[in-house]
Structure 1
């Protein structure tokens, strides 16, 4: 049986340590940036955060780890459990110094997320959820239960949209729709806002890696929301190719069918 209390304790410890190191780099006047094969930026903050989290998890658990910054040896596919780690989600936001970057950890069991944690280093906030136990925000010594918005009216919906990954076709469809309130947001913060009841939806047509969305998937669901692909299918994890290619819709659940219909017309 999964000991969620231990998982929450260990993950809180490692994500706080990683956040402290990331903030040290963030507060420096200049950052050294390399670029990966896909042309995405890579900083020393990414690498140090990855080292802290992966080592911390490995000290307490035997499950394999799939991380954005670690070579995938494929052994994870033989395991019912696997960690997903994004040590710095929103490197572009980190470099722009707008604070909209996160650290994401998820635990997958049999292809679905059963635990998720998202840290926002600049704010000192930690969002987390465990299957069947609800979703929470830890801030300033308080623990707040997260609940998605109960709004059912599309014209009043607040959409949390990516600053850098909103494809032109989807953008055109949104601009022609009833939506008035767009909230540009980087990283997994888009989904945290939905879990917090501060947005009703988020749509993404561009491909997304499993480590980018796994933690948010668990948190949004435990807050009463929903995350699927553009066809309304639940996302599958620990696939051989760990990428979601069929779009992402996150919502407060009450407007999910509307969003599916919207993107299928795009």
Structure 2
């Protein structure tokens, strides 16, 4: 894989998808449908998926593409693949809360090594460079040229005063019970894969997820966090979270700065 090309293409497609999503987001009304798993899907999900899929297949025709909105791709497997959630945080989108992202990632042998997370409503863009290191780009964002980049790194956490981020739409008692095992200075909520990026930038130290997610929800944020020096492990035994699993479903997990002293579940 030409990683420099991959970085450029993923970033450009995320921006193009973001434009399409915001066009629909800012409209007076948009259609919301319900998928077979009872989760919502909008015309923005579908439009962004079509755009990203066409772009990736044109540039990387020999790489398996797995995307949330194309059920046929969920039964396909490969050691190396691209994985996409064209609009992560659909509930945030529907309620016009802004915490939604475009996620595109590249997975090699179970590890997300490259990725982009773009939050168009918040005008925040995080991605990995060709060498795998993670950066945040300052807007405004141009499709054909990259703006000012800031390398991002996880925090040197103070275990006596941790900064925690948790899900906005899926916060529950089990999550709170686990967070209460730590000495917490501040706890915030965020939607979509932005939570990984807040850990990657040091704005949070730890993000525990005690709830259902799919690999397309997490791979891009995982890649960004990995590029910033962070880790993502299973909630139960703290082994690395791996990708390419049957059905692309994740177990519960913890994303964190390695300076955090992890507690047992």
The question of a shared fold, defined as TM-score above 0.5 by the shorter chain, is answered with: yes
In structure 1, the residue matched to 2:197 is 192
Number of the residue aligned with 2:219? 214
Q: In structure 2, how many angstroms separate the alpha carbons of the residues matched to 1:188 and 1:48?
A: 20
Residue in structure 1 matched with residue 173 of structure 2 by the alignment: 168
Render the CA deviation track for 1:4-30: whole Å, top value 9, x for unaligned: 110011112211110000000111122
Superposition TM-score, scaled by structure 2 size: 0.91
1:130 to 1:228, Cα distance in 2 relative to 1, 3 A: farther
Q: Which moved more, 1:63-72 or 1:16-25?
A: 63-72
Q: Give yes or no for contact 1:131–1:218 (8 Å, CA) kept in 2.
A: no
Quote the residue 2:67 is aligned against.
Answer: 67
In the alignment, the residues of structure 2 paired with residue 107 and residue 207 of structure 1 have an alpha-carbon distance, to the nearest angstrom, of: 21
Identify the match of residue 156 of structure 2 among 150, 158, 164: 150
Please provide the CA RMSD for this pair. Answer: 1.7
Structure 1 position 134, deviation (Å):
1.1
4+ residue segments displaced more than 2 Å = 72-76, 130-133, 172-178, 258-261
Q: Which runs of 5+ in 1 are unaligned?
A: none
Q: For residues 23 and 73 of structure 2, what CA distance do their matches in structure 1 show? A: 31
Q: Is the Cα contact below 8 Å between 1:19 and 1:49 reproduced in 2?
A: yes
1:177 is displaced (CA, Å) by 4.5
Structure-2 residue corresponding to 1:126:
125
- The aligned counterpart of 1:37 is 36
- Could you tell me which residue of structure 1 aligns to residue 14 of structure 2? 15
User: 1:111 matched to which residue of 2?
Assistant: 110
TM-score (norm 1): 0.91
Instruction: Map Cα deviations across residues 104-128 of structure 1 (whole Å, 9 max, x no partner).
Output: 0011112211111101111332211
Distance 2:149 2:218 in 1: 23
Stretch of structure 1 that moved more, 17-26 or 233-242 = 233-242
Asked if structure 1 preserves the Cα contact closer than 8 Å seen for 2:168 and 2:190, the reply is yes
1:169 & 1:124 partners in 2: Cα distance? 32
Task: State yes or no: 1:244 paired with 2:246.
Answer: no
8 Å CA contact retained: 1:158, 1:199: yes
Partner SS state of residue 72, structure 1: helix
**C-alpha displacement of 1:74:** 5.7
Distance 1:86 1:137, change over 3 A: same
